[in-house]
Structure 1
Amino acid sequence: MLSVLRFLDRLLMGAVMIVAAALLVLASCISMWQVITRFALEDPSTWSEVASRSLIIWMVYLGVAVAIRKGSLMSVEFLYEISRGTGRKLLLAAISGVSLGVLLVMVWMGWEMAHRVRFQSIAGVLDPINGQRISIAWLYAALPIGAALSVVALLTRTAELFVEPDPPAASLREAEPV
């Protein structure tokens, strides 16, 4: 079961990482366009700042899911490192439970906000295909989608940590010199 979960997780998080990286590249290019139009051409682009900010919002919320999956978020690991056996599993369950609760609230509130603003549009940005205004709900959708992906990442990481044996004891004295 865990091997299937890991396989699906690898596919999902790999795709999320690629999309987040592409959004970062695109936001950087658009920001550079904004600088060129503002300072070199002295005719600022009306859409580039909003578009860049929107892409960065999406990139961050997608990137959080990958960071949770890899265990890269900042944490205080002292209690986790000194605990063993059942105590470690209880601590892991408590941390995961609180994190899951926060993420589920983010999914719910993000969905509510995206739904609430669905008739508002993003100022200065038009759909390049049909020239229509773009709903600001697409920006707000980054929150529930990123949080839902983070829930998947959290559950996968927690499942892995529950089945792996305790790592060797680590102490502050064993840390590598800086």
Structure 2
Amino acid sequence: MALLVVSVTWQILSRYLLSEPSSWTEELARFLLVWIGILGASYAYKVKMHLGIDLLAQRLRGGKAFALDVFVNAVVAGFALAVMVVGGSKLVAMTWELNQVSPALGLPMAWVYTVVPLSGALITIYAAENCLHGWREYRDGNTHGRGSV
């Protein structure tokens, strides 16, 4: 995040004070924003701050709440594995083979796209952790009428 602020600040200073805008700062800021956004999504899932509709989850108790929790986490993990990890890995491999580089920085685009399978793997791990936590709550009778969705 600090690198993003420094990059954007330098872009502003070089453009308006020096009248010579840097060509690489906008591209760096864009790539950093992508990384922050995608990794932030996986972190939000971990701490259960992602957007979700919990109307049904709030009304369920016990085994039904636990079953819904497992189902939701399984769907999320399946999506993260299939689309983000597998699809993202194919994207990284393809851009690596094609030797695609960013125009201003000359950075291999495979490095930029690496965040997709990385975040997908993290989301999958967090979904498994959520299921384990939900199972412990269910086993101990601490669901308070809700699953851990």
TM bin, normalised by shorter chain, reads 0.7 to 0.9
Q: What's the CA shift for 1:25?
A: 1.6
Distance in structure 2 (CA, Å) of the matches to 1:155 and 1:31:
37
Residue 109 of structure 1: aligned partner: 87
Distance in structure 2 (CA, Å) of the matches to 1:146 and 1:32:
28
Distance in structure 2 (CA, Å) of the matches to 1:169 and 1:58:
37
* 1:139 alignment partner AA: V
Q: Which runs of 5+ in 2 are unaligned?
A: none
Q: What's the CA shift for 1:169?
A: 4.5
SS of the equivalent of 2:71 reads helix
Q: 1:122 is matched with which residue: 102, 119, 123?
A: 102
Identity over aligned residues, as a percent? 24
TM-score by length of 2: 0.88
More strand by share: 1
Displacement over 6 Å in runs of 4+: none
Q: 1:71 aligned to 2:48?
A: yes
Q: Which runs of 5+ in 1 are unaligned?
A: 1-23, 126-132, 171-178
When the two chains are superposed, the root-mean-square deviation of aligned CA atoms in Å is 1.4
Residue 46 of structure 1: aligned partner: 23
- How many pairs align? 140
Residue 13 of structure 1: aligned partner: none
Q: 2:73 is matched with which residue: 80, 96, 117?
A: 96
Q: What's the CA shift for 1:56?
A: 1.3
User: Which structure has more RCO (C-alpha within 8 Å, separation ≥ 6)?
Assistant: 2
Checking the alignment, whether the CA contact within 8 Å between 1:84 and 1:166 is kept in structure 2 is: no
Distance in structure 1 (CA, Å) of the matches to 2:134 and 2:10:
45
Q: What's the CA shift for 1:82?
A: 0.7
* 2:55 alignment partner AA: F
Q: Which moved more, 1:139-148 or 1:161-170?
A: 161-170
Distance in structure 2 (CA, Å) of the matches to 1:113 and 1:169:
42
Residue 148 of structure 1: aligned partner: 121
